[in-house]
Amino acid sequence: MPTQDPSSSRSSPRALWALVLAGTAVRYYHGASHQLWNGAPDQLAWGLGLEDLHATGAITYEQLMHYPHEGGSLFLGLVALLFAPLSGLLPPLSWAALAVDTVARVAQIRVAQRLVDERTALWFAAWTVFAAPVMLPWGTVNFGLHAAFSFAPFLLAVMVSDPRRSVERMGLCCGLLASLAYDAWVFAPAFALLLVTTDGTLKTRVRHLLSFALACALGFLPHLLLRLFAQDGFGLEDHGALSIRGLEQEPVDISALPAKCWQVCTTALSASFTLGAATDPLVRALSIIVLAFLAAGAWGLRRQWASISPALRTLVYTTVVFVGVVIAAPFFQPRSEGSGYLYYRYFAFIAPLIALLVLHGAAALGRMRRAVSVAWITLGVLLSVVYMVRSRPITTPNMEATGWVLARKYGDRPAVLMRIIQRAPTNQHHDLVYGAGWGLTAALFDGKSIRDSAAVDTFEELWKLFPHDQRAALQRGVVRAFDTGITPPLDPALLPRLRERMEP
């Protein structure tokens, strides 16, 4: 089946813009009515850093961005500053998330119009309005960037569709997009697979692969240089230039991969569209329904495979590579009780692409096409509406966890840390300082033992730099870091040593 019907009439631009704006309205309503940012310590900590930056007038790379591996957060931080006058309606970072989310959906719809037939593109545009619960919170919650840059594989795929495509330009763009969000790297092996399986001599394939890899590295180089030489915080943590919050250091149990593969493919991937826990019987039933749609889409794509365009073929490869990375890498660990947008955050990067592929696969189902497409969109609407109705507003910001995040980033400079904490309302200072003591201790002593005297000496040096009137709350946070069940677990033998160093 051809991927595009030249005779089909193009959808009205007004209709498509109406769908985009409707999606923005849905996300704004959900975020504003539930105040989702209050449950996002990463955003709250980042926001306080931006408030301090705005107040001091000193633009710094460290405070504009959030985690070092999230290169795109630098751009989002700049966008947030533009929305500072509207902070009474939404936090500036939430405005930035909403703006980027809107642009991402525009890009995805426009690319869909280029890659698939107009009817499928219109179905996809309709799906984006309510999408699925996995996408909705990220319209006003700002960290992680998996959802914000979910348009990356779409943009790269439309470049594949260009008959005059250059592997060098493809690699450069892939590296640049990966510098914004590392998720974009899943496109690289997918495109490499396309190059290997296309016609051409072995010499040509090798040359194209090497050129693509070199261009990827070149596009990623500015981000790497920033990570190597720019001040980006987290001075207390000993992570490498390409570290992802140290998660990449988690051990991988090879023997557990088959079971993890089964869990991800049969449960986690489909359950992510609901954001529910697999232990819930209703969520499990809904996950099976989602899985049925994924299977129908895959079967439809298989029927079209001989005539499918290289761009769409690359998107299929991208989806497979993404799932493979989720299975093999230590970042996502399936838990039967896992739920919520934070637990399923990685899947937000690939969910729009999966939705498009399901709708395109439905095009091969003949008379069933319309029924399957309508049912797929309706399922998304129902899941999203129920999710919004059942979600409880978060009226109290989690300032203890926010202080934890701030201390891990600025804890090596107590003066800066306390200056940023002072930007928060006065009634939140105690919880922030308490959380800072907890985070400072976690950053210094994660993986350390009583024998690591250098870390204890560093703790004492930093302790003396904190204001005397804040040390009581700070000390309670230090003790909290050693409580049973706290992550990361610390060596309890260290606590008596730290108590000695905290004595007046």
Q: What is the mean pLDDT of residues 60-84?
A: 95
CB distance 143 to 46 below 8 Å? yes
- Output the pLDDT for position 239: 76
Q: What is the mean pLDDT of residues 378-394?
A: 97
Q: Helical H runs in 116-166? A: 118-130, 152-160
pLDDT tens string 298-347: 999 999 999 999 999 999 999 999 999 999 999 999 999 999 999 999 99
Question: In this structure, what token pair is assigned to residue 3?
Answer: 């991927």
Rg for the chain, CA atoms, rounded: 24
Determine the Cα–Cα distance for residues 122 and 141; give it in Å rounded to an integer: 27
Question: In this structure, what token pair is assigned to residue 460?
Answer: 């004492």
pLDDT at 2 over 50: no
- Output the pLDDT for position 10: 63
pLDDT at 7 over 90: no
pLDDT at 439 over 80: yes
- Output the pLDDT for position 241: 80
- Output the pLDDT for position 199: 67
The band of 237, judged by pLDDT with boundaries at 50, 70 and 90, is confident
Mean pLDDT of the chain: 93
pLDDT at 273 over 80: yes
- Output the pLDDT for position 452: 87
Q: Percent of the chain scored above 70 by pLDDT?
A: 98
| The residue count for the chain | 504
CA distances from 297 to 301, 302, 366, 380 (A): 6, 9, 13, 15
Determine the Cα–Cα distance for residues 30 and 62; give it in Å rounded to an integer: 30
pLDDT at 8 over 80: no
- Who contacts 350 (Cβ-Cβ below 8 Å, separation ≥6)? 150, 153, 318, 319, 322, 323
The band of 58, judged by pLDDT with boundaries at 50, 70 and 90, is confident
Tokens 């107040």 correspond to 55
pLDDT at 4 over 50: no
